[in-house]
């Protein structure tokens, strides 16, 4: 059994969903639900993907 991750949650307490993506932290609903049982490696991957999503969203908003 894999050990649970110890990364701090990327939640910024600005939860608002656009489809299944949180506009606050950038995680998908599936990633939010998986967080508590994810390994360190999985948590780091979730953080990286969420950071990328947030950056892309900011770029799209700036281009409007």
pLDDT tens-digit series, residues 10-36: 999 999 999 999 999 999 999 999 999
* pTM across the whole model: 0.91
β-sheet bridge partners, residue 38: none
Is 9 exposed, middle or buried (CB count within 10 Å of its CB: 0-12, 13-18, 19+)? middle
pLDDT, tens digit, 9 for 90 and up, residues 2-17? 789 999 999 999 999 9
Residue 1 pLDDT level (bands cut at 50, 70, 90)? low
Q: Could you tell me which of 49, 42, 41 has the C-alpha nearest to residue 21?
A: 49
The encoded tokens of residue 46 equal: 């979730």
Report yes or no: 15 and 24 within 8 Å, Cβ to Cβ. Answer: yes
Average pLDDT over residues 47-64: 94
User: What is the per-residue pLDDT for 27?
Assistant: 98
For residue 49, name the pLDDT band (cuts at 50, 70, 90): very high
């Amino acid at each position: 059994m894999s050990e649970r991750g110890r990364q701090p949650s990327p939640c910024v307490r600005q939860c608002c969903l656009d489809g299944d993506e949180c506009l606050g932290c950038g995680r998908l609903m599936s990633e939010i639900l998986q967080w508590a049982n994810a390994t360190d490696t999985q948590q780091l991957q979730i953080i990286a993907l969420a950071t990328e999503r947030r950056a892309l969203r900011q770029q799209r908003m700036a281009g409007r």
